[in-house]
Structure 1
C-alpha cells in the first residue's frame, strides 16, 4: 500500500522542491489545507527550519540549512519505516533509470531554446522552423511517456510522488497547443520546471546531494 507522508514532512518537503513558495503554493503541492500549512510554516519558522523573504512586492518561504537537514532526516526515517525495504529499493531503481531520461530531457529543452546555425554556432531559437520545434516536442513527449511507469512505481510506494505524471502531461499538452513557455519557462508550470522538481524530489528521497552524487544505484534505508 502506498505510504502517506505526515503533513509536517509534506510542508517542509514542498518548500524544498519548490525552492521558494508562498503558503498557497506549498498547500497546492500536496493538496493540503492552506490554513494548516500556514500554521505549520510558522511552527517551522520558530524552529529555524524555514525563513520568509520578500521580493518584488511578493514573498516566499525557503529552507534554512537546519530545515534541509530536518527534511533529510524525515525522508530517511520514512524509508527506514518501510519494514521490507521495498520503497528504498524502488527509489534506487527509479533513480538509475531516470539518469538517461534526464539527459534527454535537458538536451531537448536546450534544443527548444537554441538551434544550430552556420559554422557550428548556436543561435537563439526563433521558433520559425516548425519542423524543428515539432521534433523537440516529440522528443519531450517520448521522455515523458518513458517516465510514466517510473512515476507509477514511485507513487505506489510513496503517495507524495503522485501527480508528477499529470503535471508533465498538462505542460506538454499546453506546449503542443502553442504555449511555448510551457516547455522550458521559469516556474513549476513548464515541462522543465516540473521535471526539475521531480529530480530534486527523487535525489532528496534517495539521500543524494546535487553537489556530490554517489552511485545512482545507492539506496538509503533498508535493502
Structure 2
C-alpha cells in the first residue's frame, strides 16, 4: 500500500487538473487528508491550485513532478517492484499502439472523398470492429493491471473502470469510448500510461 501523502501528490500527476476530492475518491482516501497534503505541497512549491473556465483544480509544478518521481522510485525499491513495472511497461508499449489506432478509427472513418472524414457512427460494421479491438486490448490490459496490483495496490481499479466504460458503450453510450468528461476508456488509458511513466521516471513521449 502506498503512503497517503505520496498518493495525494501522485494523484494530481495522474489525474491532471484535479480536485482534492477526486484524488481522494480515486485512492479511497479521506478528502481532508488529501486537501491537507496538497496545501502542504503548495507551501513547498510542489503544487498549485488554479481556475480555468469556471473549474478549479490542482496541478504539479516542475519541482512537484520531480518530487513525485523521486517518491515513486523509492516506493519501487521498497516494494521490490521495479522489474515487474519495467516489464509491464515494455509489454504495454505495443498494446498502447493498438489502442491508439482503435481510438483513431473510432473518431475517423475515411471515405473515397475524404480520408480524414469524421466517424458519424452510421457504419455498424466499422464500429463493431473497433469495439472488438478495444475488448481484446482490454483483456490484455487486465492482465497487466493484475500483475502490477500484485506489487503496488494503487494500480488496482484501472481494469475494472475500463471494463465498466466498455459496458456502457455496449449499451449505446458511445461517449464512454473517448469522452473527456468521464472515466472513459481513453481517459483511463491516458491516466494508466501517465502512472507508468511517473512511476518509472520516463518523460512522456519518449516511449512511443
Q: Calculate the TM-score normalised by the size of structure 1.
A: 0.90
Q: Does 1:142 align with 2:136?
A: yes
Which deviates the most, 12-21 or 202-211?
202-211
Cα distance in 2 for partners of 1:157, 1:188 equals 27
- Aligned residues of 1:164 and 1:194 also touching (Cα < 8 A): yes
Unmatched 5+ stretches in structure 1:
217-223
Cα distance in 2 for partners of 1:143, 1:99 equals 12
Aligned pairs for 1:28-47 within 5 A: 28-47=25-44
Cα distance in 2 for partners of 1:12, 1:131 equals 43
Aligned pairs for 1:69-218 within 5 A: 69-82=66-79, 85=80, 87-119=81-113, 121-213=115-207
Cα distance in 2 for partners of 1:145, 1:211 equals 25
- Aligned residues of 1:49 and 1:64 also touching (Cα < 8 A): yes
Counterpart pick for 1:27 among 15, 24, 27: 24
Task: Note the C-alpha offset of 1:188.
Answer: 4.8
SS at 1:80's partner residue? helix
Task: Note the C-alpha offset of 1:131.
Answer: 1.4
Which deviates the most, 111-120 or 52-61?
111-120
User: Alignment length, in residue pairs?
Assistant: 208
Cα distance in 2 for partners of 1:138, 1:157 equals 30
- Structure 1 runs (4+) deviating above 3 angstroms are none
Higher-RCO chain (CA-CA 8 Å, sequence separation at least 6): 1
- Aligned residues of 1:92 and 1:206 also touching (Cα < 8 A): yes
Which residue of structure 1 aligns with residue 53 of structure 2? Answer: 56
Task: Note the C-alpha offset of 1:122.
Answer: 2.2
Cα distance in 2 for partners of 1:108, 1:120 equals 19
Unmatched 5+ stretches in structure 2:
none
SS at 1:186's partner residue? coil
Task: Note the C-alpha offset of 1:181.
Answer: 0.9
Cα distance in 1 for partners of 2:96, 2:205 equals 16
Cα distance in 2 for partners of 1:113, 1:22 equals 29
